[in-house]
């Protein structure tokens, strides 16, 4: 997996018909945002007077992770389907991570992302859950797995730290902190490791 800088720039591609579900998902991603694993971008962040197309295309180019919020309205939108989704699918070989998120049940057969693993698990759409929060937690947990996998690959020594874990269980990864020019990732400081002794 390509080494990336944190927080991962995360683009949310969605139909405006699904705006309420998008806002609900953002609330459930706040833990990852506060831990500085991801930094979200969506078109509601475009400032008045700015060029909508230019801002969207720039954010698409700069993002590391694309979340495609899939529904019948998403597939029916020429902009979502052709401009955003097809572009992201073509950029997967450059290291962009593309995750389809099934908001509402829709036929996915033959779509460019049909072969990709989607969230929530087992291709169960968000609107199929009796508890919407349960669906959003499943999505947030899946995104955390992706981000932590990228984190382990990107931080020097992190894979070895995981391997040395005596209990044989994966450890919780720390948040990124930047203070006075020093960048901390777990037991790494500016690429070199350190140990705190009592």
Cα–Cα distance between 138 and 123 in angstroms, integer?
11
Helices (H) and strands (E) in the chain, counts: 8, 8
Residue 23: phi, psi to the nearest 5? -65, -35
- 1 against 100, higher pLDDT: 100
Q: Which CATH class is domain 8-154?
A: alpha beta
127-182: pLDDT as tens digits:
999 999 999 999 999 999 999 998 887 766 555 544 444 445 554 554 444 444 45
pLDDT of residue 162: 45
Cα–Cα distance between 63 and 38 in angstroms, integer?
10
Domain spans in the chain, listed from the N-terminal domain onward: 8-154, 167-193
Residues 7 and 183 sit within 8 Å (Cβ to Cβ): no
23-62: pLDDT as tens digits:
999 999 999 999 999 999 999 999 999 999 999 999 999 9
DSSP 171: P
As given in the structure block, the two tokens for residue 162 are 């995981």
Nearest to 1 by CA among 158, 193, 119: 158
What pTM was estimated for this model as a whole? Answer: 0.79
């Amino acid at each position: 997996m390509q080494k990336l800088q944190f927080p991962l720039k995360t683009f949310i591609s969605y139909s405006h018909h699904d705006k309420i579900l998008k806002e609900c998902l953002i609330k459930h991603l706040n833990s990852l945002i506060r831990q500085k694993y991801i930094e979200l971008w969506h078109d509601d962040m475009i400032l008045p007077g700015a060029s909508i197309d230019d801002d969207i295309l720039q954010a698409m180019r700069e993002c590391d992770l694309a979340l495609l919020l899939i529904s019948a309205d998403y597939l029916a939108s020429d902009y979502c389907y052709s401009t955003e989704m097809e572009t992201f699918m073509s950029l997967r070989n450059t290291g962009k991570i593309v995750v389809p998120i099934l908001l509402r049940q829709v036929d996915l057969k033959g779509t460019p992302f049909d072969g990709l693993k989607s969230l929530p698990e087992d291709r169960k759409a968000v609107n199929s859950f009796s508890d919407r929060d349960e669906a959003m937690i499943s999505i947030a947990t899946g995104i955390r797995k992706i981000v932590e996998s990228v984190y382990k690959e990107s931080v020097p020594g992190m894979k070895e730290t995981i391997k040395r874990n005596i209990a044989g269980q994966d450890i919780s990864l720390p948040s990124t902190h930047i203070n006075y020019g020093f960048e901390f990732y777990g037991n790494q400081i500016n690429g070199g490791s350190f140990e705190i002794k009592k």
